[in-house]
Amino acid sequence: MKKFIAVSLSAAMVLSLAACGNNGQTGGTTASIVPATTPATSATEATEASETEATEATIATLSDDEALEKSEGVMTYAEYAEAAIDDEVVIEAYVQAKQSWWEDKATVYLQDPDGAYFCYDMECSEEDYDLLVEGQKIKVTGFKSEWSGEVEIIDATFEIEDGLWISEPVDATDLLGTDELIDLQNQRVSFSEMTVVSVEFKNEQPGDDIYVTLSLDDEEYEFCLEYYLNGDDADFYDLVSNLEEGDVVDVEGFLYWYEGPNTHITSVTVVESASDAEDNEDADEVDAEETTDESVEESEEA
């Protein structure tokens, strides 16, 4: 009996010790791992989510209606268009492209959903020039001017404002040769199925502007690859340099004006090369000859 009791007591002590050991381990795990790790992970995820939402909100592109909103004292595009040459103007618009920076002067293409502006030699530090990314909203104060038909803003200063808006090219093909084309001056535009007439280099050698003459319906129009705008894009410069007479192209650019439309091109797509067109013509001639021969043979047999 004593032996049985002793065994029972020993078993009870073992079970008791085992239970204490498990309680101690479980308690340690609960206190040191679960509460500390879970809240820390949740806080990190919440911070990352908050930062992502803030970034998305910062870079969100404005709708056309939002992009047309003007601050107090700022002109609408219609008011700017009606202003006289040499008048002081104050506009808000969005950077569409940067042409050049030199000695704290910047030249940029600006636009809002109603119209476009060309700011020439605007006061701008190199640090601020780097901030003028495509779509960035700025407020410009300067004077309206005109040079060889190009309406621009000169002697200008600017402030960077919150907002991002990027224009889509307006298809102006049907407006070529009309008085209405000038209404799109400085806007991002496109022209379709133009035929290359000639390609010439400024100073008669590569490394500067490229003058491109294109035709549509037997009328010729002048275009320009402005070297300061995109001459550093070697692939694009080579593409335009190697266009051949007779190539059919689609082009995009900014409708600059120099004694008439002189679009500063930013994109060229070769729809049909002159060599392909010649091959197609030769193939058509062969098909026509074969058809004629077959018709003659059938006639003789009859």
The CATH number that domain 65-164 falls under is 2.40.50.140
**Residue 2: its pLDDT value, please?**
38
- C-alpha 252/C-alpha 84 separation (Å) is 30
SS3 242: coil
Question: Matching CATH topology for 65-164 and 170-276?
Answer: yes
Contacts made by residues 236-241, CB under 8 angstroms, sequence distance 24+ = 236/267, 236/268, 237/206, 237/210, 239/268, 239/270, 240/199, 240/210, 240/212, 240/265, 240/268, 241/199, 241/201, 241/206, 241/210
Indicate if the pLDDT at residue 14 is higher than 70. Answer: no
Domain residue extents for the chain: 2-58, 65-164, 170-276
Indicate if the pLDDT at residue 54 is higher than 60. Answer: no
**Residue 275: its pLDDT value, please?**
87
What's the whole-number mean pLDDT along residues 100-125? 98
pLDDT tens-digit map of 161-213: 999 999 999 999 999 999 999 999 999 999 999 999 999 999 999 999 999 99
- C-alpha 122/C-alpha 128 separation (Å) is 11
What's the whole-number mean pLDDT along residues 108-120? 98
Confidence of residue 20 (pLDDT cuts 50, 70, 90): very low
The CATH number that domain 170-276 falls under is 2.40.50.140
